[in-house]
Structure 1
């Protein structure tokens, strides 16, 4: 549950809002579920013609001690919404009433057993929340002691969540969590986005735009140029001395009004000017592409980035390097934003959603070796410098390679948070992994299917030799898992290709296996396949079927009556890092 007090000075105005239709007609059946004495007049339970008079009676009852106090009190209204999580069950009026009584007691409005407590009511006008409204003068005409009420209420909310078996949000109430995650949009921003038919609020769109401008940027000049390229307005706050103290950002207002400006801190904790300047001070490497053919740059850029990600995973998986997590998450978001900006429409939305989900896994500890941060940010720059990908097969396999690395990064981040009891952040990391799995499957489907066909056609002695290499290079349990996977045929074909090119499969497997992080992968065989193909420069998998077989397969896939895979050869499911239904040519045809 979430709750935060809203001070006010107009009791009647607050009551009119609570018992009215709401700003957007969102209030349904407003009524009192609890009050200071259980007998407060309820405007929600009288005929409409009597509602105004009852509202006045309720206001007078709530304001009684305020009037008797005899002196003006600033902000004498205490308004506290209490909202359940979207995943929680619907609570009854009786349960909400009990929750309200516990909260006013914890806050200091009406402590248990105190006959002089303040007057209050709890109004429900939706399934998932109530509003507690109180006046802050006690019956003994002293003001309520509300100092640190938020801390006490949050402790009580944790107990309520456990007792009612609701989602435990205690970790989201910590100062560390609040200091790390992006700032959420206000209700007015959400309603405006809905009114304009937008998928997200202006704050969310602006935060994404600023992050994309920052991803891979080498200095402030490049950052500001990218902002301008996206149409983002940049403001600079200055001290009386003329020194720059902060950034403000805005998007042009489509309705002709003045732009709505946000400081960096109102977007996300790491988008303040000091944090951005510290990021520039760490430096960044310029990507270098020895191949003069610019058409190969997107592939090279993605392969470079996947190598960097794979190299960083063992450090994040190491429980002894907790301080590295914040930096890894922040830099991982930069890589995702760079990838989203240069990916085809096929996967751009999924990658962007993964980046936004990963923002909510941030931690305040961001210390890391400058070399580690420089490598990750340089990888983001390499992706941007390489440019957008096309529809070539090489682009698809390079995308599948880096996406398999990013899926594993999200999984390891989820594992890191879960090990520390951060279930909320671990859930967001798993959400990011799910989006990345979807993007991966869209790129990996065809090449994995081709490799699967090649692997099935290998002579049995060759398959046995590659299986023996797996057993020699990997721990016994991991080797068994790889050989039992659907993706084993594709890995066997890759090892056979590498061996034909002069490589030792056992050595390649040992190098590609890395450290503990591979055990977290949903499909180690898929991860090994892409790492080995990347490290050895193997060509893009191409169909090995005869032209007439491919024509028959295409005709069957498009047929409205025969939507089933061909019988020979039959590709296996794509070994995505997902537990969802695998993607084969036939399942894609059905969609």
Structure 2
């Protein structure tokens, strides 16, 4: 017996019997149960016992006694239903590309509910494994990290030759009726958590050089922020495989953040990482060698003490928000509906975490506001560089922090107009919820860099005189900073 249930969305209009009959006929035809104009198709019946849904039941043996060819019927029915939704003006379901992680089964969900667990073992283990991948620099370290986590069982699987075949994990608090662990292979947790996929990613990491006398190790947070800043530009290029790799590497950075941040914002960051996990995969293959710098910086961040300066975290989150906006647009242009929705959800959580992280550093900057004549000079510079946003910037609550950032950049030897122009070329302010706040962190990051010499500054100023200072507006997207 073949069975299919079809339900309209709560906000959809009530369909007539004739419309439901047409939908049922189209579905059984599309799936091969009863093709159009085939008198020997399987016998079927559609039952409507509620206003919003029907059930279709059919035999799987045709009238000519052959078995119906309904292979892959779920996908063929789904494609037909997508067309039906458009034609009938119904709610259009966000569809995937078969790269999403497998959801917990109903039995797994009910088992977790009976045990009083917040999430089923599959989801908890998926998050744990992703965090271990983000922190590890090799497969050996990955297995070592997992094996030393409380509540997690790990087993490495070998080929007869002795080579590693894969791994599997289990939660200690989830067992079978016989008290045996419920094992999940990496690929059962998510397509990109299989042993070969993880090994491929861990091989694409820039190793941090060993300390040498007289050599100052770069701040990994600054390195990670710089690499993150470049991702929106990478996504605008034509290399989809490289873009997909950058999204995957950025997802690893989000996975690592809850390990490195203060307790109050960990919940939002975990939710952001969980949501963005869906945006890190698509049918486009990733070429991970493009992302060595970011992956290496993230591993170095994990090995460093958590930053005491809240501005460092706020700067990274500011850059991360721009990446998520760019990722949403990238997926939207490629009709990756589920990934686009995941990026939108990530933006909500990341913005909330950013608001928490940035409040204290912004207040500290605002408390050091420069004298009035310096502020007036910066306003004139803003009118020259970004005239279309100057009124919004000066009315922004973060404007005092921005003037401090500009003044401190000048004190460090930078030209304020040049730094301001560079900050604007990184990303337009059109999608910024707080343009002054966005500029503050960009200028703060630029001010930390090496001060160019007088000749370089002169050339840069001449270039900015010749070239319009306002960046062109990109195509508008549904992804906007909240």
Q: Would the TM-score normalized by the shorter structure come out above 0.5?
A: yes
1:44-443 to 2 correspondence within 5 Å? 77-82=1-6, 89=12, 94=17, 98-112=22-36, 114-122=38-46, 131-147=55-71, 149-169=73-93, 171-172=95-96, 177-178=97-98, 180-231=99-150, 232-254=152-174, 257-286=179-208, 300-316=219-235, 318-361=236-279, 362-368=281-287, 370=289, 372-388=290-306, 394=309, 396-443=310-357
Q: Deviations over 1:171-205 (max 9, x none)?
A: 52xxxx21x33222222222222333333221111
Whole-angstrom distance in 1 between the partners of 2:202 and 2:49:
49
CA distance in 1, matches of 2:351, 2:444: 19
Structure 1 CA distance for aligned equivalents of residues 50 and 305 of structure 2: 49
Structure 2: runs of 5 or more not aligned: 450-479
2:420 counterpart residue number: 509
SS of residue matched to 2:315 = helix
State the alpha-carbon separation in 2 of the partners of residues 387 and 126 from structure 1.
59
Instruction: Give the length in aligned residue pairs.
Output: 445
Decide which moves more: 474-483 or 372-381: 474-483
Distance 1:342 1:289 in 2: 23
Shift of 1:213: 0.6
Q: Distance in 2 between matches of 1:288 and 1:402?
A: 25
Does the residue aligned with 1:258 lie in a helix, a strand or coil?
coil
Check 1:82–1:240 CA distance in 2 against 1; reply closer, same or farther (3 A cut): farther
| Conservation of the 8 A alpha-carbon contact between 2:229 and 2:319 | yes
The structural deviation recorded for 1:358 is: 1.0
Distance 2:161 2:55 in 1: 46
Contact 2:366 2:404 in 1 (8 A): yes
- Report the alpha carbon displacement of residue 483 of structure 1 after superposing the two structures with TM: 4.4
Cα deviation digits, residues 239-270 of structure 1 (max 9, x gap): 34443322222222345722211222211121
Distance 1:481 1:291 in 2: 49
Question: Structure 1 residue 281: deviation in Å?
Answer: 2.3
Paired with 1:475 and 1:368, the residues of 2 have a C-alpha distance of: 37
| 8 Å Cα contact 2:35/2:41 also seen in 1 | yes
How well do the aligned residues superpose, as a CA RMSD in angstroms? 3.4
Tell me how far apart the structure 2 counterparts of residues 354 and 250 of structure 1 sit (CA, whole Å). Answer: 24
In structure 2, the partner of 1:462 is 374
Q: 1:90 deviation in Å?
A: 7.4
C-alpha distance in 2 between matches for 1:254 and 1:143:
41
Change beyond 3 A, Cα 1:367–1:479 = farther
Residue 571 of structure 1 aligns with which residue? none
Gap change, CA 1:284 and 1:319, over 3 Å in 2: closer
CA distance in 2, matches of 1:327, 1:130: 43
Contact 1:339 1:383 (8 Å CA) reproduced: no
The answer to whether the 8 A contact 1:289-1:300 is kept is no
Counterpart of 1:360 in 2: which secondary structure? Answer: helix
Give the deviation of 1:135 after TM superposition.
Answer: 1.7
Q: CA deviation at 1:429?
A: 0.5
What displacement does 1:92 show? 5.6
Q: CA deviation at 1:235?
A: 2.6
Residues 351 and 484 (structure 1), Cα distance of their counterparts in 2 relative to 1, 3 Å cut: same
**DSSP 3-state at the match of 2:325:** helix
8 A Cα contact 1:400 1:444, kept in partner: yes
Q: For 2:144 and 2:158, locate their aligned partners in 1 and report how far apart those are by CA, in whole Å.
A: 20
| 1:123 positional shift | 5.9
**For residues 208 and 81 of structure 2, what CA distance do their matches in structure 1 show?**
50
CA change 1:328–1:517 in 2 (3 A) is farther
| TM-superposition CA deviations, 1:86-130 (whole Å, max 9, x none) | x85475684655533331222222334555442334467899765
C-alpha offsets along residues 49-81 of structure 1, whole Å, 9 cap, x if unaligned?
Answer: xxxxxxxxxxxxxxxxxxxxxxxxxxxx22334
* Partner of residue 18, structure 1: none
**Gaps in structure 1 of 5+ consecutive residues:** 1-76, 539-576, 580-591
Partners of 1:107 and 1:306 lie apart in 2 by 49
Q: Secondary structure at the match of 2:238?
A: coil
Distance in 2, matches of 1:199 and 1:411, equals 30
